Structure 1
Amino acid sequence: QYNLFVGEDHFDYPKEPEAVTFETPFGKFGIFTCFDMLFYEPAVVLVSKMQVDTVLFPTAWMNFLPFLTAIEFHSAWAMGMRVNVLAANTHNTSIEMTGSGIYAPAGARTYSYNMATEDGHLLIAELDAHPRLSPATPPAVSWNSYALTVERSSQNDHEFTGIIFEDPFTFRELTKPGGNLTVCQKDLCCHLDYKMAEKRDDEVYVLGVFDGLHVVEGQYYLQICSLLKCPSTNLSTCGEPVETAQTKFEMFSLSGTFGTSYVFPEVLYSGVQLAPGEFQVLADGRLINRNTTSKPVLTVTLFGRSYEKD
């Protein structure tokens, strides 16, 4: 591990990051560990410069809702980087560690999330050995193409600030059962088109944006657009963790004026469940649901990293 997490400072790490790869008849593999996934070295280098097909990823990953649960972020990283990720997480529910998976660029092939027991779980799935060459892999994305064509409205009614993992997000409440919303912070504007199956009185959703340097338990620059459920109808709770929801969306389309090409698309359903095959990213940067009404939504997020601003 090159990027040590809080409390790991009794370990040493190499002065220069070492990219570890090996070749097999079924593709080129790369290895990095845990917190490395949030940084450029060695994770992005292995994919973009060394062209690995599959990442082997051992981790002891604590789950942080709404954006950084293991299954959610690891599957999003596979999709955003267009590689396979084999993520083997420690299972220790007392410290929020659960969630392993076999992730392809088009979505999770299989995964396990279990906070109920301490039982381990063996995961087996088939993957394309060379995902970049596979017709199943989505095309490369120009993340801001669509968002830059949307008129930036001057309306900022219903805007308020909320905190997620110590970062100040700008939020707008989804007050209607459907429509479109824009919310901006600094250089990042997030656009959402949506239609709820029904607008419930007991659940509140917001569109949130953050464009800034995250400095808690590590320092990394984020650009995030997110549709998320608030834990209660009290807007001051928006951004706090919530694990269950009842509101389904007939359609959603989320995009942002990202200044980075490293964006990781996340969709998390009620019960902290993934949605493989139920959403896609278009070449113009829109994260949309596919054809069917969604299951109840916790969050639909575009998690962007501006590595050069760290």
Structure 2
Amino acid sequence: MGISMTTSQLLVYVAISSLCIFKVSAMDTFIAAVYEHAVILPNTTLKPVSSEEALALMNRNLDVLEGAVTSAAKQGAHIIVTPEDGIYGWGFTREAIYPYLEDIPDSQVNWIPCNDPSRFGHTPVQERLSCMAKNNSIYVVANIGDKKPCDTSDSQCPTDGRYQYNTNVVFDSEGKLVARYHKQNLFMGEDQFNSPKKPEIVTFNTTFGKFGIFTCFDILFEDPAVTLVKDFHVDTILFPTAWMNVLPHLSAVEFHSAWAVGMGVNFLAANLHHPFMHMTGSGIYAPDSPRGFHYDMKTEEGKLLLSQLDSHPYHSAVNWSSYASSIEANSMGNQGFKGTVFFDNFTFVELKGVIGNYTVCHRDLCCHLSYKMSEKRSDEVYALGAFDGIHTVEGTYYLQICTMLKCRTTALETCGDSVEAASTSFEMFSLSGTFGTQYVFPEVLLSDVQLAPGEFQVSSDGRLFSLKPTSGPVLTVTLFGRWYEKDRASDLRAQALVLITIAITTIEYLS
């Protein structure tokens, strides 16, 4: 029997059909992959090598990365992240990096390098990355170098007539360039690159969520990292990094997993693998728990991780100061002592019993801890510490930190030193603080630099507490707070001091 439709019926049918197609194409979950790459480094030289030598070195690394991409795709991955500096390594001068750079266009140009490799000049690396993505039907995230010419009409143009950028690129499953991000916060010694004039906010949409991207040291600053989540509402962060681990609070797996929890996003972190430089630690992190992570200081091999994530993860709001502000701070009496954590001067109190309730304050931050150890060992000392102030070593940024940590030895002056092994497990812990910021990242790190998936939780009133006895001895339980507004205040104070110094010097000279 034939079927006839009125125009209105046809429109309704088309609308319903379109909705069904959209529902089928939009995915609730996806498979993510990250690859920790043991990068093949160039020979150390201050002079630039030829472009042929540079490409040969990059192709050796791309051979390895292509193997990881192919393997991830065969296992069903929809996207793979590879590390910062993963194609050519590090240790370059501004001149020495130049042969490794390509002109990377804005992603709005609608370009598939695999199909049209010469459209923007000589771009063999972009062509190869594009073909990896296209041939394996997978999104590929990589870190390469971009070059952009400039001239004297630009007052900020470098003397060599070009900008050079540490750059992330994303190619979709058809090989199309869909994102280009220039790193904003360059790490100390990264003099071969320029920062863009203003932070770039780079996002792109897929059938499995909205993605944002930034690089390594960017994670410690508000722009673009926090802005991507707070103002642009991304679901997942892509994070190529060349991260050197710094214990007790800035080991890669520890801090990156904590950032995912604190910001309420998926976080795909791909680190380099170079144990001699303390580079290891990659992971696939969800807001509720790590889904997969890798930390290996013993071997020289790379590592591919895959895990399933929710395309639109759920995140509940936390008032980080609510619980702690309701507790009356107990006086420490003479129990408090000073200690140094990554050059910051903390106030500590020793945990003396197998069970205890302690408070320690530094400036406006008071930290509260309740705990029960499995046993109180005579050969290990733990302390509760607080820090509220500006950090000024490898960057300038304001911290508020509450931390319970194992001291390196039984001598109190070693509290805050780097330590990787412990023997004391905890039956329970609950840590909170009177934070002035709502950007707090909860860390739980076990002995041998291992995470504790599913063993702790954060309450809406700001407590970081255990759900069960820890599965291993504890290195640290920490609430790592960043107070971004005070970064600017500190910068202004520093600028004011410089101006005052100049004024005083000028007056003394004139007089």
Normalised by the size of structure 2, how large is the TM-score? 0.59
> 1:151 deviation in Å?
1.0
Separation in structure 1 between the aligned mates of residue 384 and residue 471 of structure 2, nearest angstrom? 17
Could you give the per-residue CA deviations for residues 95-118 of structure 1, whole angstroms, max 9, x where no partner exists? Answer: 000000000001110000000011
Instruction: Name stretches of at least 5 consecutive residues in structure 2 with no aligned partner.
Output: 1-182, 488-511
Q: Matches of residues 233-272 of structure 1 in structure 2 within 5 Å? A: 233-272=410-449
Query: Is 1:29–2:211 an aligned residue pair?
Result: yes
Query: Residue 291 of structure 2 aligns to which amino acid in structure 1?
Result: R
The 8 Å contact of residues 425 and 469 in structure 2, kept in 1 or not, is answered as: no
Q: Secondary structure of 1:155's match?
A: coil
Could you give the per-residue CA deviations for residues 236-258 of structure 1, whole angstroms, max 9, x where no partner exists? Answer: 11100110101011110000000
Query: Residue 478 of structure 2 aligns to which amino acid in structure 1?
Result: T
> 1:217 deviation in Å?
0.5
The 8 Å contact of residues 72 and 266 in structure 1, kept in 2 or not, is answered as: yes
Query: Is 1:80–2:268 an aligned residue pair?
Result: no
State the partner residue of 2:399. Answer: 222
Q: Which of 304, 325, 328 matches 1:122?
A: 304
> 1:185 deviation in Å?
0.5
> 1:121 deviation in Å?
0.6
> 1:157 deviation in Å?
2.8
Q: Matches of residues 1-40 of structure 1 in structure 2 within 5 Å? A: 1-40=183-222
The 8 Å contact of residues 452 and 470 in structure 2, kept in 1 or not, is answered as: no
Query: Residue 29 of structure 1 aligns to which amino acid in structure 2?
Result: F
Separation in structure 2 between the aligned mates of residue 155 and residue 69 of structure 1, nearest angstrom? 30
State the partner residue of 1:210. Answer: 387
Q: Which of 52, 55, 66 matches 2:237?
A: 55
Separation in structure 1 between the aligned mates of residue 253 and residue 236 of structure 2, nearest angstrom? 17
State the partner residue of 1:191. Answer: 368
> 1:292 deviation in Å?
2.9
> Cα RMSD (Å) of the superposition?
0.8
The 8 Å contact of residues 369 and 432 in structure 2, kept in 1 or not, is answered as: yes
Could you give the per-residue CA deviations for residues 211-233 of structure 1, whole angstroms, max 9, x where no partner exists? Answer: 00000000100000000000100
State the partner residue of 1:64. Answer: 246
Greater Cα radius of gyration, structure 1 or 2: 2
State the partner residue of 2:281. Answer: 99
Q: Which of 46, 50, 61 matches 2:228?
A: 46
Q: Secondary structure of 1:277's match?
A: coil
> 1:291 deviation in Å?
2.6
Separation in structure 1 between the aligned mates of residue 486 and residue 325 of structure 2, nearest angstrom? 22
Separation in structure 2 between the aligned mates of residue 292 and residue 249 of structure 1, nearest angstrom? 6
Query: Residue 148 of structure 1 aligns to which amino acid in structure 2?
Result: S
Separation in structure 2 between the aligned mates of residue 85 and residue 246 of structure 1, nearest angstrom? 30
Q: Secondary structure of 1:208's match?
A: strand
State the partner residue of 1:180. Answer: 357
The 8 Å contact of residues 197 and 293 in structure 1, kept in 2 or not, is answered as: no
The 8 Å contact of residues 281 and 294 in structure 2, kept in 1 or not, is answered as: yes
State the partner residue of 1:302. Answer: 479
Query: Residue 265 of structure 1 aligns to which amino acid in structure 2?
Result: P
Separation in structure 1 between the aligned mates of residue 196 and residue 210 of structure 2, nearest angstrom? 23
How many positions carry a matched residue from both structures? 305
Q: Secondary structure of 2:322's match?
A: coil
Cα 1:263–1:97, aligned 2, differ >3 Å: closer, same or farther? same
Q: Which of 308, 330, 336 matches 1:153?
A: 330
Separation in structure 2 between the aligned mates of residue 228 and residue 265 of structure 1, nearest angstrom? 13
Q: Which of 344, 347, 353 matches 1:170?
A: 347
Greater share of residues in strand: 1
> 1:273 deviation in Å?
0.1
Separation in structure 2 between the aligned mates of residue 156 and residue 4 of structure 1, nearest angstrom? 43
Identity, in percent, stands at 66
The 8 Å contact of residues 250 and 294 in structure 1, kept in 2 or not, is answered as: no
Separation in structure 2 between the aligned mates of residue 114 and residue 291 of structure 1, nearest angstrom? 26
The 8 Å contact of residues 332 and 360 in structure 2, kept in 1 or not, is answered as: no
> 1:140 deviation in Å?
1.2
Q: Secondary structure of 2:276's match?
A: helix
Query: Residue 140 of structure 1 aligns to which amino acid in structure 2?
Result: A
Greater share of residues in helix: 2
Separation in structure 2 between the aligned mates of residue 293 and residue 130 of structure 1, nearest angstrom? 29
Could you give the per-residue CA deviations for residues 22-69 of structure 1, whole angstroms, max 9, x where no partner exists? Answer: 000100000000000000000000010000000000000000000000
Cα 1:294–1:208, aligned 2, differ >3 Å: closer, same or farther? farther
Query: Is 1:141–2:323 an aligned residue pair?
Result: no
State the partner residue of 1:131. Answer: 313
> 1:13 deviation in Å?
1.2
The 8 Å contact of residues 246 and 270 in structure 1, kept in 2 or not, is answered as: yes
Query: Is 1:110–2:292 an aligned residue pair?
Result: yes
Please, which moves more after superposition, 219-228 or 294-303?
294-303
